[in-house]
Structure 1
Amino acid sequence: MSDNIKRVLENIKTLTPHEKATLAHCLIASLDEANEADVDDAWAQTAETRFAQLESGKVKAVSWEEIKLGLKRKA
């Protein structure tokens, strides 16, 4: 465990409930931001790959009407 984390854990006892909630919120928000960046990068890569597949003719586009019809047939 890093010294920074040890200091934070030692000082948590001195925080008010409101300060603890603020700290928890900030920690969780920082995790969300990191995950969002990864998700955004993954979606961008997926979009680029799918577009390249469409452009090359490797895959065929399907209309929304075709998708809905297929779903109705399965139901």
Structure 2
Amino acid sequence: MNTQSQQLLESALSLPESDRAEIAASLIHSLDAESDEDADTAWAAEIHRRVESIDNGQVNLIPWDDVMREMRDRRHG
């Protein structure tokens, strides 16, 4: 990543979460060459399925800090 990109990233990371989410969504959308018309419906169904599995206790959630710690340990170990 060049200096300009790094500065842009640092500026973006200082924004409120909702603004960062909008920027991230826009960037990801810009990478999609073609849009799948059924994608929104499929994602909505998948999100609903995952939320139900959490609500029903079918999955164990892992705190973000634990995930990041494990990833750092794997990278350094």
Q: TM-score, normalised by structure 1?
A: 0.48
Structure with higher helix content: 1
Q: TM-score, normalised by structure 2?
A: 0.47
